[in-house]
A and B are shown apart, each in its own frame.
Chain A
Amino acid sequence: MSNWIPLWLHRLSSPPTFYRFAGTLQPWAMTLALLLGAVALYGGLVLAPADYQQGDAYRIIFIHVPSAWMGMFIYAVMGVAGFIALVWRIKLAEVVAMQSAPIGAAFTFITLVTGSLWGKPMWGTWWTWDARLTSELVLLFLFLGVIGLYHAFEDRRQGARAAAFLAIVGVINVPIVHFSVNWWNTLHQGSTVNVFGKSTMSWDMLWPLLTMTLATKCYYAASLFRRVRTDLLDLEGGKDWVRQIAESEADR
């Protein structure tokens, strides 16, 4: 039996090792995010043709949909990391779950506001209590609830475990957001991009959308690495490896 994978994972979950690992990957993830983002913006804003029904207003899709996918993706990551934190009591899993929450909240907020800016010219209203919009708002409140609960405890690790529990319970909302356009036939349009089966979207519009999705994934990795590193320094403040970093960065 090969047991090097669990061993490698175990080593990686030690804070100083992960700090170095994340520090190596972080600039690459950010560079990739900026490159892919620039290509996607050029493709979406310049190369892609105007929509025959929505004109140029549809171009909001290139940030709205990737942000919406990231909101759900980050929530799922937070739920899984929260589960690992509760079951195996791994400190790194707590940190990953809690540091994912602000990034997920940022993307969900972007989704709601860009959707509002898209809804006004197309639907004639900034907001409506449509199933998709409402469940997305609940997603934002879940992220904010996790952040709030985490900070409500004096003991940070206790706060992380309580917030991880809330995160796990809230995972039920992710499929509700996803399937809301099928379950309730209200205002928000159905999905035009399908992982399994054919997407009902022109390739000229689809490739910038998928490129931006990759860019936001890379951005999340970069932002998460940056946040986790900072939080590990705070959490492990008394340890030698943090002390060395603090002293070596004093000159700068």
Chain B
Amino acid sequence: MNALQHFLAMGGYAAYVWPAYALFFVVLIADTVAPRLRRHQVLRELRARLARQSVRQERKPPSTPASP
């Protein structure tokens, strides 16, 4: 058995050690990705709202008369 196989075998406890480490990384990666996705969503919604506002302002001219 070479060194890598010996390492991966974890003295016979591979079925417990590696899933534990895998879960650690999967959960933390999910925790890192989730706020990034939310950030994109928040900014996209905000830009859509700003675009709607500017369209509304163009359609309705300001009530105060413009100076000549």
Interface residues of A, Cβ cutoff 8 Å to B: 45-46, 50, 55-57, 59-60, 63-64, 67, 102-103, 106, 109-110, 113-114, 117-118, 120-121, 219, 223, 226-227, 229-230, 233-234, 237, 242-243, 245-247, 249-250
Contacts and interface: CB of A to CB of B under 8 A. Distances in A.
A246 B46 contact: yes
13 contacts: A55-B13, A59-B13, A63-B21, A64-B20, A102-B31, A102-B34, A106-B31, A110-B27, A121-B16, A226-B32, A226-B36, A237-B49, A250-B47
Nearest to A121: B16
A246 B47 contact: yes
B43 A233 contact: yes
Interface string B1-42: 000000100111100110111011001101110111011001
Contacts of A226: 32, 35-36
Nearest to B47: A246
Given A59-B10, A110-B24, A229 B39 contact: yes
A106 B27 contact: yes
Tell me if A's interface is mostly helix, strand, loop or mixed. Answer: helix
Interface of B: 7, 10-13, 16-17, 19-21, 23-24, 27-28, 30-32, 34-36, 38-39, 42-43, 46-47, 49-50
Given A60-B20, A237-B46, A227 B35 contact: yes
A233 B16 contact: no
A243 B23 CA distance: 38
A56 B35 contact: no
B11 A57 contact: yes
A230 B38 contact: yes
A106 B43 CA distance: 26
Given A113-B23, A219-B28, A60 B16 contact: yes
Contacts of A243: 46, 50
Nearest to A113: B23
A67 to B, nearest CB: 7
B66 to A, nearest CB: 25
